[in-house]
Chains A and B, each alone.
Chain A
Amino acid sequence: MKPSPVEKIKKESNGLRGTIKEGLSNDLTGAISDADMQVIKFHGMYLQDDRDRREERAEKKLERLYSFMVRLRLPGGVLSANQWIASHHIAGEFSTGVIKITTRQTIQLHGLLKSDIKPTLQAFNAANLDSIATCGDINRNVAAASHPFQSKLHEEIHGYAQKISERLMPKTRAWYDIWLDEEQLLDKKEEEDPLYQDRYLPRKFKIGIAIPPNNDVDVFTNDIGLIAIEEDGKLAGFNIAIGGGLSQTHGNPETYPRLATVIGFVQAGEPTFKAVYEVLTIQRDYGNRSDRKLARLKYTVDTYGIDWWKAELEKRIGFSLEPERPYSFTARRDYYGWQQGQNGLWYYTVFVENGRVTDDEKSSVKAGLYAIAQTGKTQFRFTSNQNVIIADVQEKDKDAIHSLLKEFGIAAQTEHASAIHLNSMACVAFNTCPLALAEAQRYLPSLLDKMDILLKKYNLDKEQIIIRMTGCPNGCARSVAAEIGFIGTAYGMYNVHIGGDREGYRLNTKYQESQDESQILATFDKLFERFAAEKMDTESFGDFVHRVKIV
């Protein structure tokens, strides 16, 4: 099979350098070359353009309004107050100003012009932040359970996220070389990369770590999901699940979303790191490198089978996987407002609609978080549901922080949002995502308002239904892992998926194709009516439609 063109680009990229440096100084275009577009992903950036402006710019005989999205590497999603302050200023100076909390516990900035990238990354570097390997065919940001209040293991687990991220980093110094003007090493041997070699992975790779009973990281949607097993108040090790991934392609039946399969248990410490590392080497060696649509780990897992995978992994790690240990997830959500951690410190989870930290008519989340950061009394933790936790607050500082939360309307926004708003997510989609077929983050809030009216009508407005929308079937906001999923098919049109569970064990099923808003509302008017009439006690909407076999 002929390798995909991207394989050649990676191999010939001279350690992920490509011709990015030359491209940065080419003022004929705000874009970069097609090959460099692939290479720059490994540096944490996508080339995008403002899709709202295409026609207008074309009429003016100007090229598309190209800009870059830059995503930080934040294992476990933790920022210090000073780092938040730095990010706040960088966003204001170089990007659209909006700080977007992603679905993988990090933040990204949009709208950076080509000439803004270097100053942006230099400013982030000065704040001890980087964007290495947050996109591209490589292990990306490692997600980990966000809230310390349910488990003592929380801090230890975050250490694992950090270590796994570091161990799976590429060895090339290209990021420092290109963006910080660091001198290139003369001895290329120091850049030799036993894990990624010169081919990296066949496709993107995601790792998440969950601490039961909350599955807030959506652990089974990752290529590798680690489920922390606590025994006698200590971390025993992890159940390791492989082959999760949600992306699919409209009209390509060979593609499908898949939840990860638990293949066994590994002891904490080095065995865990080793197992994770070798899953990557197997995927590196056996993954499909000719068809990128079939290159994720999930296809490699299904192509070779779980038994083969276990055997191959055991061969490479040199020890046997133990049988899966019992665990149970009971939720997959953020706990808003104040919670006290096992460590005695206080945590306030802020509702940030679709992760967009900005100031608008309703509230001043951005200004408020900035003011809170300036107190220096907190850390910031991002959740996999696109929210932020004001973290590690001492008892004595809690009131002062709370009055700031009130002053900037953050407390009100968090406390007054409806249940479905609080449990929803949407991807970026228009105007910057080149893959988007339909709106997502710009549209979902208004659709939810209309669905809230229907829920109130049937007295269902307290139901914590998980609703997620993506502008295309690639699943950034995990729309197929929701009780209700909307997947864009064309502008204003969505496939309607229902029947996912609340804990993240079961994907939803396509219920209707290419529906516009009025059709969507008519559908849910009927479904909610029946749900209200026939639901059992605490039965979730997803479980209900599944049980009564609507899907």
Chain B
Amino acid sequence: MLAEKKLDQLYALISESSHADLVWMSGYLAGLAAQNIPSSAKPITTPPVAIDTISIVYGTETGNSKKAATMATTTFKRAGMKTRLIAAENYKPDMLDKESFFLLVISTQGEGEPPATAKPLYDYLHKREQPFQQLQYAVLALGSKSYPLFCQAGIDVNAQLKRLKATPAIAMGTCEDDFETDAEVWIQQLLQHIQNPLVSTPVATVVKKPAEGKKVFKGTLGSNILLNDRGSNKRVHHLEFDLAEEIVYTPGNAVGIIPENNPAQVARILQLLDISPEQPVAFKEQTLSIEEAFGKKITISHLPVSTVKKYAQWMGIEIPETRIDLYDLLRIYPLQDNNQIQGLIEILPGITPRLYTICSSPATHPCQIHLTAQVHHFSINGDRVRGLGSDYLTSLKPGTELEMFLHSQKSFQLPPDEKDVIMIAQGTGIAPFRSFLAERDINGATGKNWLFFGEENRVTDFYYQSEIQKFVEIGTLQQVHPAFEVHTSNPATVSQIVKQQAAGIWKWIQKGAYVFISGEKEPTGKDVESALLQLIEEQQGITTLEATAYLKQLQKEGRFAKELY
């Protein structure tokens, strides 16, 4: 163990370091260690006390964390280790003092929250004051880069464990939606570390580049239509991209798109810095012009609080905790000179890809990808601002060529043609169902289809209304239940309509129907799921617990799937 003073210095260093810094340091130190130069450097991990059993705890919402935890379990078992796989809701936090090795696999929901099932554990770690005596741990965080608070629940838990003097075996791993590859790599690293802690590999975590399955391709924007009519409070666009080549995808898949910053905003920053747009800078082992870096690679608007904090520390100044645009940050707290620009770039977060569910059908719309994108607004310091990704995408002009990559969401897929399907959508959640319906229509699928769709205004916000009417007319869609709040004689939310239709839905489920929910998690996703639970409970005459188990079973069988964001 390091002396406390050294340890404090190290923690101080760590707390000031970016993720990239840590990766570099861990590699550097590991390298030093491997060269047997113990006097000048030490690894950040301590030699483990004997590991008896690895407890693998997962907190999951969609089942992905469970899958990753299962992968880890299998890996360690094969390596001859004792493992214990436990769902977070079944894990008693006071067990932590008895663990020799604790592996937590945790996803992030909504605004950086842990899954509901992991909330008690999450809260326990935040409230606990007493340091752990000998706990070794590792955290594998799952998240979606479509959102600013990527893997936040994992980051929080990791920080709390550190604060409580638990010992990280290797740096936290992070996985995107398509988590399998990333998780696999990280688990192997962890295994290696546990088996031989002093020769851990320099690159500890995170596969940043698209995995092999992530096929990158280009699409040319054919049309970009605002679906909402005049008078709507929403701005949802329908975009159609023409592809030069056929891309193999299935209904329910998504594409990832890396948005670019507003050129005017970039120009303002360059002007403020009084620097040539051609000025070369380094970004992630790549040299490019500062204009390109700010335009396409680096986040410059609504910088997260952590970045602002980092900047303040780096500059050695006081800045209040806030989200702020880079332009304003540099205007109010200017750099001392332009030699600091490279340092600045290393502090700033990169632009992350945004995922959009495809709303076209491979069979009906060959060589095309259609997307449904809502201009996302959120509030920063009381100002209403637009999300970068949706703002970028919905502002694109026809003719623009765009790079995207395919992202498969394996649990969200059409069942065989003869199966019945219940589709419950809120807002842009209609996207995968437009794909489903078009696909089932063209394939002459014999299974019945039932669509629930919720939005605000019947007159202005009924996305794909004329197509849905067509599917009803030609007999592809047997039942449609829209739910609107305005311009309807029955104002209701989609979950209320689901409740109204409980008996019918139950009949369909009993006959083997597949149930899909798509849309915003809060509040619709949650409400619809509880409406489903309630109808199972009531229709079947069982307890809430049994209904939950029933729904879980459906989920396991692939008959219940959610795509919530």
Contact = CB atoms under 8 A, between A and B. Distances in A.
Given A61-B465, A61-B467, A62-B466, A28 B480 contact: yes
Most central of B238, B459, B469, B482 by chain A CB within 10 Å: B459
A57 B238 contact: no
A387 B238 CA distance: 47
Nearest to A56: B229
Contact of B238 (A24, A28, A58, A61): A61
B488 A63 contact: no
B489 A63 contact: no
Contacts of B472: 28
A118 interface: yes
Contact of A27 (B225, B463, B484): B484
A34 interface: no
A29 interface: yes
Most central of B225, B465, B467, B482 by chain A CB within 10 Å: B465
B229 A60 contact: yes
A118 B488 CA distance: 11
B226 A60 contact: yes
Nearest to B434: A61
A29 B482 CA distance: 10
B262 to A, nearest CB: 26
Contacts of A65: 229, 459
A57 B459 CA distance: 10
Contact of B228 (A30, A60, A114): A60
A78 interface: no
Contacts of B483: 27
B489 A30 contact: no
B489 A115 contact: yes
Given A28-B480, A115-B487, A115-B488, A61 B464 contact: yes
Interface string A3-38: 000000000000000000000110111100000000
**Consensus secondary structure, chain A interface:** loop
B458 A62 contact: no
Interface string A101-134: 0000000000001111010000000000000000
B456 to A, nearest CB: 13
Interface residues of B, number: 26
B139 interface: no
B229 A62 contact: yes
A30 B463 contact: no
Contacts of B480: 28
Given A62-B466, A63-B469, A24 B229 contact: no
B395 interface: no
Nearest to A113: B487
A27 B458 contact: yes
Interface in B466-501: 466-469, 472, 480, 482-484, 487-490
Contacts of B463: 61
B47 to A, nearest CB: 64
B462 interface: yes
A116 B487 CA distance: 8
B225 A60 contact: yes
A30 B458 contact: yes
Most central of A27, A28, A56, A62 by chain B CB within 10 Å: A27
A75 B89 CA distance: 74
Interface residues of A, number: 20
Contact of B469 (A24, A28, A58, A118): A28
B125 to A, nearest CB: 47
Interface string B94-113: 00000000000000000000
A59 interface: yes
B69 interface: no
A106 to B, nearest CB: 26
Interface in B429-483: 458-460, 462-469, 472, 480, 482-483
Contact of A25 (B226, B227, B489): B489
A58 to B, nearest CB: 7
A180 B459 CA distance: 24
A116 B488 CA distance: 8
A36 B238 CA distance: 34
Nearest to A57: B229
Nearest to A29: B469
Interface in B60-75: none
Contacts of B468: 28
Given A27-B458, A113-B459, A61 B489 contact: no
Nearest to B490: A25
A30 B229 CA distance: 14
Contacts of A25: 489-490
A114 B458 CA distance: 11
Most central of B225, B460, B462 by chain A CB within 10 Å: B462
B489 A114 contact: yes
Nearest to B486: A115
A118 B489 contact: yes
B500 to A, nearest CB: 11
B466 A58 contact: yes
6 contacts: A28-B469, A28-B472, A61-B463, A63-B469, A114-B489, A115-B487
For the complex of A and B, 10 pairs with smallest distance between CB atoms: A27-B482, A115-B489, A61-B466, A62-B465, A61-B464, A113-B487, A27-B488, A28-B480, A115-B488, A115-B487
Interface of A: 24-25, 27-30, 56-63, 65, 113-116, 118
Given A30-B459, A113-B459, 15 more contacts: A27-B482, A27-B488, A28-B468, A28-B469, A28-B480, A57-B229, A59-B225, A60-B229, A61-B466, A63-B462, A65-B229, A113-B487, A115-B458, A115-B489, A118-B489
